[in-house]
Each structure stands twice: as structure tokens, then as C-alpha cells.
Chains A and B, each alone.
Chain A
């Protein structure tokens, strides 16, 4: 079974630009979560999608948004980039069914964003 695939792996943007990151979950996984990882703040939850619906959102400004498609693939978008948005963005999928937590996230290798 293929793992979680994130594209692109590396990208460089300048302040004020926007970026879109893509995540393909493990086949059959319907839950996709996004996390931001930085040296100063560690791993922080961005949002989680299940069946194309955002079910939970972390404490990030509205510049951070996401969506999920009918095939469970997900994208996240960051608009008006700031220097502080430089981070590793990790996507994770889960075989969770319904509301019950099945207990494991499967992570991709991440997209490393550098904002200049």
C-alpha cells in the first residue's frame, strides 16, 4: 500500500505570495489532518477533514485554509505569506471511521516551505 504522499517536497516563496500544498492519503483513509512543524513552536494542528468536511481547526489565522476532495485528497493553502510561515507542513491520514478515534495517524514526509 502506498503511503501518504505530499507534493511538493520543497518550495521557496517570497512574502506576500500564496502557496498550495497537496496531500494524497493512504488508499481507504478518509480523514486527513495537517500540521505545521517549526523549531520554535513544534508540531501544531492546523485542521482536519473527513469526507470533504472540515471537522476541526487549530488556532491559525484565516490565511491558512484547506479543502478535501471526493477522493480524499487534500490541499492546504496559505495566502499572503509571511516570514514566520516558513515551516515543514505535514499531512497525516487516518483510517478513522465516524467519530471514534482509531488511534493512529500516518504521516507523509512533509512539504518544506521557505518564505524569503
Chain B
């Protein structure tokens, strides 16, 4: 059974940093691109970042470029999102998502809430 378990969310002050982790199991983690998608309270889904299966290619939404860094450790089956210079508008539930084919997200984690507030 595929499982994606996020951790690392919490309350952080504006300008602060946070690192999210996503522990994956039930599939060959190193064979799949992985993604982060976020959802602000009461809002829709926003694609944040993506990383190729071997970590060699990364992609970021314009809204987080230069502030967030996606990475992965295939030996630990873990995906990361390092977030810095956090802003109030980064407040959201962050989902770790597995990509099946092309643009199909077949498995989602339960999400971790990041709240940026003073």
C-alpha cells in the first residue's frame, strides 16, 4: 500500500524557515518524480514544486522561486521542502504527491499545515 506521510509543519514567524519532510513507502520511490502541492485555508490547489526521480531536475512556482528548495534522499525514501523567507501568503496545507504518469497525481499525503504569523 502506497503511503506518503508529511511532517515538519507548524507555526513560524514571517521571514522564518521551515523544512517539510515526506516519508514514502509502498512503491519504488526512486523511480518516480515527486511534487509538493499546497492549499491555503478555504482556497484551491496550488502546484508548488517538483523534482525528478533522480533529483537532477527541479521546478518551482514563481511564487516560491528563490525561497523554497525541493530535494530528495532516495536512500531514505524521503522528499523534502526547505522553505525560507516565509510570508503570510505561504500559510497553507502542504501535500506531498506522487506522480503516476505525465501529470497525474495518483497518491497524496494527508498534508501538513504551515502557518506563517507573528
A, B co-complexed: no
Residues of B within 8 A of A (CB): none
Residues of A within 8 A of B (CB): none
